[in-house]
Amino acid sequence: MNNFVYAADQNYNTQLFYSIFSLLENISTEVNIFIIHKNPESFEPQILRLNSNFKNLNLSIYKFDVLNFEFPNIAGKHVSEATYYRLFIDKFIPKDVDYYIYLDADIICINNPTFYLKELVSEMANESFIIGCRTEYNKFSKNSASFDNLLMNSSKYFNAGVMLVNHQRWQKENIREKLLVRLKKLKDKIQYWDQDVLNSYFDGNYKEISRNLNFPLILNKQIDVGDVEDKGIFLHYQSNKKPWTIKGNFNHGSKFYQNYALDIDRKYHLVKTVKRYDAWDLIKNTVNFRISILEKPLNFYIESVKKLLYKG
């Protein structure tokens, strides 16, 4: 079971490319990757590069063509409508796929997941669960009002960045239509996009997966790199502080992403946020001598200045 699904738009093409590259570097057997994309043609250069580097890859990309659909709570946020594509996966990928792993594009793979995924699939085959996820928090550590808003009776809420899905059960039980009904019901209460919809619908009825398969890297906190390297399989850059921002690079945890940028493209991958904030973060961290965190300081500063001067 080496079926993986991603959803993205052209703003995340580079992140998606590095995520897939990291996955393929860690799996030697045949891998099927399905991408649901807003602009598939924009990802064609990356597909060519992936196919030239990996002979074990079968990649299919589908244009998201659901029209006249309103995606709640994305205006002014760090996510796009592509986050909701996760609800429509069964509309695009082959019907005969048994199980798949959905991965967010901000995930980097650092160890072979095959053994753990096979074990999970074997367990789920004998259980009633349709999905497997990692619990993010429970009602007792969070304001219980958020559970009430999502019409939830259970006490746990999962992170949907990594999901193991029984595709046959999903189709048979018409989960997509049920999720869209739930989305309309929750429309004005949604905070975390389709993740809220999924949690509201499944309401705690999911298989718990290991934290190592959805290892949270939150760059607002100090990261124990040794712990990450020992335990992590899929590293998930959660929150809006990402490793491709100037600010995010002054955290040791950004190295797992930027190492791919440096190895593949020979330069840091940086995305401009707000120019004055980026400039301040660069100056502040330089003055505070945090330059030692960077793998290649000169390369980083060259790319940072280019981003700050770029008017696009």
pTM as predicted: 0.95
Residue among 130, 120, 128 at smallest CA distance from 178: 130
List, for residues 28-85, the tens digit of each pLDDT value.
999 999 999 999 999 999 999 999 999 999 999 999 998 778 787 766 666 778 889 9
Sketch the domain layout of the chain as residue ranges.
Answer: 3-209, 214-309
The pLDDT of residue 77: 66
Strand ranges inside 9-80, DSSP E: 31-37, 57-63
Helix or strand holding residue 295 (H, E): none
Contact in structure between 163 and 209 (CB atoms under 8 Å): no
**Separation between Cα atoms, residue 111 and residue 212, nearest integer Å:** 10
Of the CA atoms within 13 Å of residue 205, those in its CB half-sphere come to 10
List, for residues 87-110, the tens digit of each pLDDT value.
999 999 999 999 999 999 999 999
Crossing angle between the packed helical segments 297-309 and 275-287, to the nearest 10 degrees: 150
List, for residues 233-256, the tens digit of each pLDDT value.
999 999 889 999 999 999 999 999
**Averaged over 289-310, what is the pLDDT?**
94
Q: What is residue 255's DSSP assignment?
A: H
Contact in structure between 129 and 163 (CB atoms under 8 Å): no
CATH superfamily of 3-209: Spore Coat Polysaccharide Biosynthesis Protein SpsA; Chain A (3.90.550.10)
Q: What is residue 84's DSSP assignment?
A: G
